[in-house]
Amino acid sequence: MITKLKEKQIKVNGLSYPFLEREITGSFSQLPFPFHYRVKIGESGDVKVIIEVNYRSLTYYQEGERLHLLLRVRCALFSQKGLFVKKEESKSLFFTREELLKKGEESIHFELSFTAPSGSYLLRLSLIDEKSGEKNAEEVRINIP
């Protein structure tokens, strides 16, 4: 896991102040499908989670002439009191074998955003193959200023 700080300017009541935006990046390489993630913590507790999964690392299911994938991303934020917020996004993709081969090393991108008050949290990122039920999960501790 890598944490980067980027300085930005924010305005409060018409005055500019420096603000450090934090970005946490990491990878989770456990089978059945590895993924990369970035967590950006911005102003006022704004949190953006970006997850990337290589098209070729996923399991596709033959449906007629096409290959099908149904993938769900779940992002859950836990405070010391329990679950604070949960966001999900699903993607259903169809490809021919030739289309999938052309994807090469491209990735599917998921982006989930939410706002949380300042504090220490556990962020759980999960990828779920809706057809097989297989999933990967990664937990990251984050602090929101």
Give the distance, in angstroms, between the CA of residue 72 and the centroid of all CA atoms in the same chain: 11
CATH pick for 2-144 out of 3.30.410, 3.40.50, 2.60.40, 2.30.29: 2.60.40
The 3-state DSSP composition of the chain as helix, strand, coil percent (nearest 5) reads: 10, 70, 20
Domain ranges of the chain: 2-144
Global pTM reads 0.74
Report pLDDT for 90.
93
> For 44, how many CA atoms within 13 A lie in the half-sphere containing its CB?
6
Rounded Cα gap, residues 5 and 58, in angstroms: 32
Query: How far apart are alpha carbons 11 and 25 in whole angstroms?
Result: 27
Between 15-29, 38-52, 89-103, 116-130, the lowest mean confidence (pLDDT) is in 15-29
